[in-house]
Structure 1
Amino acid sequence: MSDPAVIPEGEAPQPAVRARHALLKRLADVVSLPASRINAFERAVTGDLLVDMLRLAEPRERRRVAERLAPLSELPNSLARMLLRDDPAIAGLLIEQCASLTDADLVACARDAGPEHRFLIASRRGISEVIAETLVGFEEAAVIEGLLRNTTARLSQSAVESIVSLSRQNPGLCAHLLRRPELRPSGAYVMFWWCGAEDRKTILQRFAVSREVMQEVVEDVFAMAAEEGWADPVSRKALQFIERRQRNRAAIAKSPYDSLEQAVAVAGQNGLTREVASEIAYLAGIKPLTGAKILGDVGGEPLAILCKATGLSRIDLLNLWRSMRRPETTVEGAIDPAWERVCITFEMLAVDRAQTVLRYWNWSLSSALTPALLKAIREGENETLDEYSAPERAAMMALAENFGR
């Protein structure tokens, strides 16, 4: 009599396949038993045996087991690790449905598997900040877009800043990022420089905030700082951001022009030179670097923000537009779309809100430019972002394209 544990040679393979199917199902059933029927060690041993079998199993068999195990509240680690690295169609069953997967399970899967797995993880309900940061670290546009579309995902500020930086090369991310509640004005103001027209409009409508509350709270501090001769650079810099006055009155005494309006009118008549552009920046209360960024913007909306923040008129805005030889009308005689957008931007913004945007740009694009930051901009040291302050990180992202990488 033959040993029943040994399959005779020459036997047709079908019974063995049926036995394998039955064994896989039974072992999966054992793993699925409640804690009252099986202890943790028994479950782990059964899981190890199941893993060993699944390594040689057909994809449809592994899929069947994954379907059986996905709803479990407790899953042996070795089994979860193997199935999460399987084909996306199999791993996806666990990624999408298995509530027992830990952050460590998903982070390891993201690191060891491919873009399709990471996209599935990005779409999983309720993923944490740790998982999100891991996914963003791979810099895959499709995965990040899936993450931004996932309204149940939680994003850390570090992840948001990384996405803001990546959106410069992937402008399609801007619209999705603007819908996220985690995005702060600092990130939005920086992203403004490479956003499209509609996204720029959204940024100004949502993030161009008033400084009225800050102005009321620190009103008496201005007098204190004046008594001290504005000796403290920390408070002076903050108060410059908060104060209501935008123009630099001290610059008028040194300027060859009687006013900001006169400098703008000369530029409109004779064209914009480097010297005139610098004078306009000084008179407007901003640094030449900020002024150059604004005047060189292709879209033109920053011009409207500059004019509104400094109290310039629509005529002055037109003079600035003409100084750069920008068209006002199309060949057919209609108003040029870019000029129309600039005019709309000028009309829609209140002075105080325009000042907030302009001062943040000036704060982040010039005051924050330390030697270390300039070095980082030139060398593209994005991995060292955490070493810098919020305005320094903003300057790094906005100016990187000017310095080359």
Structure 2
Amino acid sequence: MSQPLSSPPDDAPEAGPASTWKARHALLRRLADVVSLPTSRINAFERSVVGDLLVEMARLATPEDRLKMAHRLAPLAELPNGLMRLMLRDDPAIAGVLIEGCAGLTDADLLSCVRDTGHDHHRCIAARRGVSEVVSEALIEAGHPDVVDTLLRNTTARLSQTGIETAVALSRAQPRLCEHLLRRPELRPSGAYVMFWWSNEQDRRTILQRFAVSREVMQEVSEDIFAMAADEGWQDPVSRKALQFIERRQRNRGAIDKSPYDSLEHAITEIERQGMGRDSVAEIAYLSGIKPLTGAKILGDPGGEPVAILCKATGLDREYLTALWRSMKRPETLPDGSVHPTWERVQVTFEMLAVDRAQTVLRYWNWSLTSAMTPALLKAIREGDTDELDEYSIPERAAMMALAQDFGR
């Protein structure tokens, strides 16, 4: 007959380091094996009870033992909930084994881990295969730049539009994210056009090549709608705004009647002679069919590419691009007589874009910049409270002061 199992006493004294407790190590391995048994050998309730016991043991187990447990449990399609929660919140090296290799983790499990853990765990989740939109969104909202970087590099991860928009916003302070955002299939033109302002020259070129789309199809299907809207006196603000985006004409014909200049070309010629000033910025913007704030942002951009886009969208010839560049006192040559790289890049941008595509970019910019005018900022403009405008550049503040004239009417 086999010897009966001896019962462990409740008050046995503890002695020796944990590494010498062979029974503990063996029991952890055996119980982990039991949890790993197929459903034909153990039902869900039995697995749950074993898991509860493992949780209690794992709390006091050594990191080495917990790491071995993680490797044993990672292949499982189903984990006891309590054990899974405990191990996902363990040291990143241990939790990472499950995060990386356990296909049984649900979005709820990963979201809970994102909420209860920190940077290192987030980075492990961001690198996990097949991260879903909802988990990606939570990771991006946490705001760790290197976690977002890892997530954007993860070609198997899926990103929601909300997540993409948040990442675009983060890229303003972390421009290195722009390159990876531009590789994401989820990125849309609206996000790319906004990101253009803080992108480097190579990323700007990529944005224009990939996202400067034509409006030809929209123009074809809505050609007869313009006559309908005109018959209605352009009274419907919804259709009017949409048709303003679709139409081929960029310049504001109504602004010419109020302008001291006969045309946009005439304005640029005179401004080149007199020099660029606050009123000049607003005048060019009005004649170009954009808001003064948008015009100031374009003319104040250090990279220069937006100036080329403005000129191409409004149908200006290359000579007026040169005249506008000179009126801004921007360099054309280096001390050795060669073409200045910024001016060269501006000319290349002007040549590479079709008029219709340049208009799409310009009109998106006009929307995004003018929609950023918050009530607090409008109040500051109306009341002349310049303290609220310190974060803006000089040309932007000049444009805001020009806008204040409209608000006061």
TM-score, with structure 1 as normaliser = 0.89
Moved more, 278-287 or 56-65: 278-287
- Stretches of 4+ aligned residues off by more than 3 angstroms: 6-16, 368-378, 400-404
1:181-220 matches, within 5 Å, as 181-220=185-224
- Is residue 54 of structure 2 the alignment partner of residue 50 of structure 1? yes
Shift of 1:401: 5.6
User: Percent identity over the alignment?
Assistant: 66
Structure 2 residue aligned with 1:91: 95
Map Cα deviations across residues 358-404 of structure 1 (whole Å, 9 max, x no partner): 111122322x35655857999xxxxxxxxxxxxxxxxxxxxx86699
Structure 1 residue aligned with 2:253: 249
Aligned equivalents of 1:10, 1:246: Cα separation in 2: 84
Shift of 1:332: 2.2
Structure 1 residue aligned with 2:37: 33
Aligned equivalents of 1:53, 1:377: Cα separation in 2: 62
- Is residue 23 of structure 2 the alignment partner of residue 5 of structure 1? no
Of 158, 161, 178, the residue aligned with 1:174 is 178
Structure 2 residue aligned with 1:365: 369
SS of the aligned residue for 2:261 comes to coil
Structure 2 residue aligned with 1:280: 284
Any conservation in 1 of the 2:212–2:358 contact (CA below 8 Å)? Answer: yes
Aligned equivalents of 1:243, 1:15: Cα separation in 2: 77
Aligned equivalents of 1:289, 1:14: Cα separation in 2: 69
Aligned equivalents of 1:232, 1:10: Cα separation in 2: 83
Map Cα deviations across residues 321-357 of structure 1 (whole Å, 9 max, x no partner): 1111111111222211111110110000001000111
Shift of 1:236: 0.9
Of 85, 88, 107, the residue aligned with 2:111 is 107
1:237-386 matches, within 5 Å, as 237-366=241-370, 368=371, 372=375, 374=377
Q: 1:113 and 1:137, CA in 2 relative to 1: closer, same or farther beyond 3 A?
A: same
Aligned equivalents of 1:10, 1:356: Cα separation in 2: 75
Moved more, 188-197 or 357-366: 357-366
- Is residue 103 of structure 2 the alignment partner of residue 124 of structure 1? no
Aligned equivalents of 1:377, 1:49: Cα separation in 2: 63
Moved more, 263-272 or 76-85: 263-272
Shift of 1:219: 0.3
* Structure 1 unaligned blocks of 5 or more: 379-399
Amino acid at match of 1:347: E
Structure 1 residue aligned with 2:384: none
Structure 2 residue aligned with 1:385: none
Structure 1 residue aligned with 2:401: none
SS of the aligned residue for 1:183 comes to coil
Map Cα deviations across residues 109-157 of structure 1 (whole Å, 9 max, x no partner): 1111120110010010011111011101111100000110011111111
SS of the aligned residue for 1:55 comes to helix
Aligned equivalents of 2:40, 2:255: Cα separation in 1: 81
Amino acid at match of 1:79: L
Shift of 1:39: 1.1
Q: 1:377 and 1:155, CA in 2 relative to 1: closer, same or farther beyond 3 A?
A: farther
Aligned equivalents of 2:170, 2:360: Cα separation in 1: 25
Q: 1:10 and 1:183, CA in 2 relative to 1: closer, same or farther beyond 3 A?
A: closer
Aligned equivalents of 1:253, 1:10: Cα separation in 2: 95
Aligned equivalents of 2:379, 2:28: Cα separation in 1: 56
Q: 1:10 and 1:106, CA in 2 relative to 1: closer, same or farther beyond 3 A?
A: closer
Moved more, 207-216 or 15-24: 15-24
Any conservation in 1 of the 2:18–2:62 contact (CA below 8 Å)? Answer: no
Any conservation in 1 of the 2:25–2:65 contact (CA below 8 Å)? Answer: yes
Structure 1 residue aligned with 2:406: none
Shift of 1:13: 6.2
Aligned equivalents of 1:94, 1:376: Cα separation in 2: 53
Amino acid at match of 1:105: D
Aligned equivalents of 2:106, 2:149: Cα separation in 1: 23
Map Cα deviations across residues 3-27 of structure 1 (whole Å, 9 max, x no partner): 6634976976689611111100010
Aligned equivalents of 2:335, 2:293: Cα separation in 1: 34
Q: 1:182 and 1:112, CA in 2 relative to 1: closer, same or farther beyond 3 A?
A: same
Amino acid at match of 1:249: R
SS of the aligned residue for 2:60 comes to coil
Map Cα deviations across residues 174-216 of structure 1 (whole Å, 9 max, x no partner): 1100100101001111111111111110000000000000000
* Structure 2 unaligned blocks of 5 or more: 382-390, 398-409
SS of the aligned residue for 2:186 comes to coil
Q: 1:376 and 1:45, CA in 2 relative to 1: closer, same or farther beyond 3 A?
A: farther
Q: 1:377 and 1:111, CA in 2 relative to 1: closer, same or farther beyond 3 A?
A: farther
Shift of 1:253: 1.8
Aligned equivalents of 1:257, 1:191: Cα separation in 2: 34
Map Cα deviations across residues 226-272 of structure 1 (whole Å, 9 max, x no partner): 11111111111111110011111222122111111111112222210
Q: 1:32 and 1:287, CA in 2 relative to 1: closer, same or farther beyond 3 A?
A: same
Q: 1:94 and 1:376, CA in 2 relative to 1: closer, same or farther beyond 3 A?
A: farther
Amino acid at match of 1:306: L
